Structure 1
């Protein structure tokens, strides 16, 4: 039996929090990254909408029984406007790409509405906390964020239950991409922070006489009568630390415990060298989580495109070519009428 990793068999809210990074990347993959597609936008969105009435001459597309007007697309353009100077783009190609994004979003919006998917306040707060630095300061930003969260939740519910990555896939990716996994010399250290010199010297004496205490410190256990301010266990590659600290630590043998010294912020510090590793190919166990994330993104991209295509067929898409003011050549050309 082949082992596999089901990444998301936990509650939806936990997924939204724990996989905020995956979802931010997923949005780039699914929506082709707005920033890279919508260029020199004043070409098309500086003009006022030509039509406002709900008449066949104003329809750009229909998804099922829902019609979308020229003004709807212009609003979409305006809401996602990005201007980059000095860019030369083909107007038809640019608008084709943007129109594809518009259609994809509307297909998902309708499905969300039909399935009555909603979001709770605690999910909104978790999303804000995990994906943006500050709260939205205007209504349009808040609405965009809410729509973004709804779309992510929809994709979570539709895609994630079927997302599995086998150990064989992980191993194949590792073997096919070994050039990406070479690492420099590494050192693992335990750094102990203490408030005063007396505690630092007392702890240093205990560690020197009882090496097993190092393991307790690495596991962040509290030592009797010793008040540590913090214990940090970290692995660094050569070049990641200040040169003077790096030179000092690399000279120490494994198991060495330096004498306490005062750091720049007044804390007393003790370093313990836990492990040293030579440069070379990182073991698969060390980078397995990175490979799983990479494969998850690739699979989510493939699954999302298939989902969009299935939803399009289910809902029925029509694009009214005569009402477009550009030559459309996108992924939905079979829907042209």
Structure 2
């Protein structure tokens, strides 16, 4: 039952109404929209299509075009009339039915402020946050390339942050950077030691004065923000606690519902 429930949880976001108005291309008169792009972006969690460099966008669009053509060919081959297709469609319909039902169950669940506060007070040790750094980086293959980037940043003066982001875009678009971008907040143990040690030594709004060598290449790191270690406040995680308590109640409710339905049903298990 737990596996079934977790599968349903993953699908919640897919069940919300989404508009796919923008056209990126046309294939035999049919539009390539965000709906066609979405399946290809699932391999890049947390990244929006519009944030990608232009060459990466073009690559994704071309993949969507090829996917659309293959779908058209499958339809011409009458795949939709095959037994395999019909069986899969029934299975998908059953899964979707369960997902929608589960969503409606969680919408009925209420969690009170007192329940949230009680959970927080009883589990404070779980909400201790280590020192965190929010940083961006540019990764290049050679030390000289990294030194050239640092030289550019020195010319930027007070506009370091804006110039750093400009360089990321430039390097990613022309292919001279192996990687780059905003890494968000991370703890020291989430990065390779060389990178973490350099990042955590920096003050907010500063960058590495020399290239940072790791197994991946040479990095230039810019620290946007820092957070001291400490216990997260109730306000910081109230929404997260509420969602966790809802899921816990949902699991309990579904377990009870399953047991109740089983008692009323005629169940035969064959060995």
Between structure 1 and structure 2, the one with the greater Rg is 1
Q: Compare relative contact order (CA 8 Å, sep 6+) and give the higher one, 1 or 2.
A: 1
